[in-house]
Amino acid sequence: MERRETTILAHAKINLTLDVTGRREDGYHLVKMVMQSVALHDEVRVATVSGERKGRGIVLTCSLPYLPVDERNLAYRAAERFYVETGLLLETVEIHIEKRIPVAAGLAGGSTDAAAVLRALNDLTGAGLSLDELCRIGLTLGADIPYCLRGGTMLAEGIGETLTPLAPMPPCWVVLCKPPFAVSTKEVYEEMDAVEPETRPDTDGMIKALEAGDLAGVCSRLCNVMELVTGQKRRQIGEIRAFLTENGAAGTAMSGSGPTVFGLFTDEGRARTAAKMLRHRFADTFFTKTE
């Protein structure tokens, strides 16, 4: 029996900008957004086992007991799809996800775990797929997975799959706060169809600020049109943004379809203090940094 194992750090993402620019005939929405990795991550341990008397297929476990560990989980489906696409023999794949990224939070927690599984299996099996090929497989599972495979500072267009590397974001401290409710991305996109934002992100200005290494310029251009929908329903989003600003954040915004709000800080001490204070009210509050 041969066992091979690896651990991948699956990083969360935030949206520095997010604009919904249209809708395709197939119902998918077109977006234009600047995405950024942060240090907050899940740990995804993947092992392949060959030579057992009877293969066990995909065996997924998770540190959160309420998360599904079958084909309802994106990481499970990523393993399935990898073997279908490569034509390799599936004997036993063991996956364990140690969750730190909050669930249904607008931070790509599920997508980043799926991306980690694809990367791990590519290494463990010696399949030798290129990053572009992994991204193609990932896109069949979710629009955020290609970004999660690449990470860093990226402009994402189309349905999120057309990625352009940008100048790296100047390092800063990040406080993430997820209020205690989930948001349906699908429902937020549907409601966006009936909304005409008065203010849209200055994406070109954001890109120029990144090129100049101008953190103040980045912070002043944080903008997410989806906040029009999610923020109107849930007053906590505005309250968290106001709290972060009052406690030293240079800029705040909602990430993805929400509900997580983040603040960018230049002062580590103020960021730690703000996170500690927010955690008294919202358990899912994290002190982290750009990655």
Q: Which residues are catalytic?
A: 13, 144
Interacting residues of 167 by C-beta distance below 8 A, sequence separation 6+: 153, 207, 210, 211, 213
Taking the C-alpha atoms of residue 237 and residue 226, their distance in angstroms, rounded to an integer, is 12
Q: Report the DSSP pairing between strands 57-62 and 92-98.
A: parallel
Taking the C-alpha atoms of residue 92 and residue 82, their distance in angstroms, rounded to an integer, is 13
What is the residue whose two structure tokens read 């090929």?
A: 133
Tell me if 175 sits within 8 A of 274, measured CB to CB.
yes
Backbone angles phi, psi at 237, to 5 degrees: -65, -50
Residue 147 CA, chain-centre distance (Å), reads 8
Rounded to 10 degrees, the C-alpha dihedral 277/281/284/286 comes to -10
Tell me if 112 sits within 8 A of 10, measured CB to CB.
yes
Query: Tokens for 106?
Result: 């607008």
Taking the C-alpha atoms of residue 186 and residue 160, their distance in angstroms, rounded to an integer, is 15
